Chain A
Amino acid sequence: MQAIEVSHLIKKFGSLTAINDISFSVDVGETFGFLGPNGAGKTTTIRILTGVSRPTSGTATIFGHDIEHDTIAARQSMGIVSENSNVYDDLTAWQNMMFSAELYHVGRKEREKKANELLKKFELYERRNDKAHVFSKGMKRRLTLAMGLVNSPRLLFLDEPTSGLDVQSNLIIRDVVADLVHEGVTVFLTTHNIEEANVMCDRVAIINKGHIVAIDAPESLKKTIQSVQSIEISFDHNSADQLDELSHLSMVNEAQKAGDKFKLYTEDHSEVINAVMAYAHTHNLKVISITTLGPSLEDVFIRLTGLQRTGEKIHAID
């Protein structure tokens, strides 16, 4: 039995087709990333998989339970951590945990035990009697995740778990998710942080304009675009014109500046290395470091979703 099985799912809002005939499955214990630009259909898919929205056609099952016709049984095994830290600001951390547990029918003794355990794990135990409105963004995020785990779910939906968080919260959340994966919990992760998906996921699906354009392990996806390679280089000093000059070197398709480094995209490493060394010599620059890089998951994402880079930003071209 699969943790999630989606078959020919279509969702239309009037004349707009938000999801267009998508099919995929997620194995038990797998960490599955769901990536896509804004408006690609990620949220609509999650809303259908969690039974909040109904598909126009097609089916989705959670551990064998049809989400449309056996919604309550399907939801019972889920934990849902939405993108917004949707905790009740006027309730204490403890009351938030208890409420969430009651909604998921967790017995009194079990919910108190679980709440104690989770609040300690997320370093919120000392603040359990404080109302959530005094919590920082990171603390609210940790509380949201703790609430999503209070029913010991077999499947966890994680929507942008670490977006915009402080380092401490980020590390705690990643550690807890790693522990969950170790315990055999299936994780369905959506994130804009492609590196996070690269590090955390067994497989990723890339959705664009309602279609799944790729679905595979991150490393397998990277192999599909070997032509996108890059060189990362840093010099002993930088000037304002360097980015423009480097972008005009032979065989450089695109140049980006990232901190004190330049990233040059190319299809021919060796040609560009020669050109860069010559450029450094001409401009009397000392090369501090130079690294050749294969395609990243972000490159795959950009290639498959039709986005394009401009400087350090990514813009939609559709």
Chain B
Amino acid sequence: MPSTDNKGLAKRLSYEISAAWAIAKKDMRIYYFKPNIIVSGLFFPLFMFLAFAIGKNTPPGTLIPGLISITLLFSASSIEPVSIPIERRVKTFERLLSAPISLYSLVTGESLSGFLYSLGIACLPLAVGVFMFGTPIMNISILIISMALTAFCFATLGTLFAAYPTENVGEVMSILNTVRLPLIFISGVFIPISTMPRIGQQIALVSPLTYGNDMIEYAYTGKSLFSPLVDILALIIFILIFQVTANYLYKKFNE
């Protein structure tokens, strides 16, 4: 009996994974080149970064880890807050809600498209760092892990905010930006956490960007506030919290 159960479970799991992948593929085809997603995911972090970086007496190459961090934040969390309200409006979201898949797969599938989009976009500052400024990368494995975890964490955050029951993209984006924008200032991207007042340092601990940025800094410079293991653990905990909360909210708001 246990082997039959395991087979059933494995089959169920493979169904869930393929459904999540199907949702991600659908989002990639439909939304990756929508103008508001390109603006929000690519230009917004770039201009935000330039606004803070220009005029600073810092070698441009050293700014690359910060640029990668905020690119991951904005691009990963930009797909679902656009796609889900649109799909609610045209009633295609109902199609996903009534499919024979779990809400976890739906949330994961939606997040997956933000994750892949974000990794693709973040390769641009990475390439600029390597080819234009010759910015050295100390630990490529940590860089890959940090980018992947940070991207998935913020993609899940985007899916979580898109649970807000509206058909209006602007409404979700406004709420999301009240969280995304402060994160940049309290997570050590522009202002090192060690130079912040005590209260700022404490707030930084509850920001997922703190850990993502810290690990990316480590991958480039070998220096960080926390050990990479702590950063990885913190990001996994944030992903789980966002996933469980998103699952709960989609269930609640369906009613």
Contact = CB atoms under 8 A, between A and B. Distances in A.
Chains A and B are bound partners: yes
Interface of A: 13, 50-54, 71-73, 75-76, 78, 80, 82, 84, 86-91, 95, 99-100, 102-105
A88 B92 contact: yes
A75 B15 CA distance: 14
Interface in B83-101: 90-92, 94-101
Given A102-B18, A103-B19, A52 B29 contact: no
29 contacts: A52-B97, A52-B98, A53-B254, A53-B255, A72-B12, A72-B102, A73-B100, A75-B98, A75-B100, A80-B95, A82-B94, A82-B95, A87-B92, A88-B26, A88-B30, A88-B92, A89-B90, A91-B29, A91-B30, A95-B29, A102-B18, A103-B19, A103-B23, A103-B95, A103-B96, A103-B99, A105-B15, A105-B18, A105-B100
B22 interface: yes
A43 B61 CA distance: 58
B116 to A, nearest CB: 17
Given A102-B22, A103-B19, A105-B18, A90 B100 contact: no
B100 A76 contact: yes
Nearest to B251: A54
Interface residues on B, range: 20 to 34
Contacts of B94: 52, 82, 86
A71 B97 CA distance: 11
Contacts of A50: 98
Contact of A102 (B19, B90, B98): B19
Contact of A75 (B12, B22, B99): B99
B100 A72 contact: yes
B26 A99 contact: yes
B92 A86 contact: yes
Nearest to B255: A53
A53 B90 CA distance: 19
Interface of B: 12, 15, 18-19, 22-23, 25-26, 29-30, 90-92, 94-102, 254-255
Contacts of B30: 88, 90-91
B99 A104 contact: yes
A280 B216 CA distance: 93
Contacts of B254: 52-53
Contacts of B12: 72
**Which 8 A-B pairs give the minimum distances between C-beta atoms?**
A102-B22, A75-B100, A86-B91, A103-B99, A84-B91, A90-B30, A76-B100, A105-B15
Contacts of A52: 94, 97-98, 254
Given A91-B26, A91-B30, A103 B92 contact: no
Nearest to B98: A50
Nearest to B106: A103
Given A91-B29, A103-B22, A103-B96, 8 more contacts: A51-B98, A72-B100, A72-B101, A75-B98, A76-B100, A80-B95, A82-B91, A102-B22
A103 B23 CA distance: 8
A84 B98 CA distance: 14
Nearest to A98: B22
Contact of A103 (B29, B91, B100): B100
Given A88-B92, A91-B26, A104 B100 contact: yes
Between B23, B29, B95, the greatest number of chain A beta carbons within 10 A of the residue's beta carbon is seen for B95
B142 to A, nearest CB: 35
Contacts of B91: 82, 84, 86
B28 to A, nearest CB: 11
Contacts of A95: 29
A100 B23 CA distance: 10
Contacts of A105: 15, 18-19, 100
Contact of A99 (B15, B22, B97, B102): B22
Nearest to B14: A105
Nearest to A101: B22
Contacts of A86: 90-92, 94-95
B46 to A, nearest CB: 26
Nearest to B30: A90
Contacts of A84: 90-91
Nearest to B90: A86
A131 to B, nearest CB: 10
Between B12, B92, B98, the greatest number of chain A beta carbons within 10 A of the residue's beta carbon is seen for B98
Nearest to A95: B29
A312 to B, nearest CB: 31
Between A76, A82, A91, A102, the greatest number of chain B beta carbons within 10 A of the residue's beta carbon is seen for A102
Nearest to B19: A103
B58 to A, nearest CB: 42
Contacts of A54: 255
A41 B102 CA distance: 26
Between A13, A91, A105, the greatest number of chain B beta carbons within 10 A of the residue's beta carbon is seen for A105
Given A53-B254, A89-B90, A103 B97 contact: no
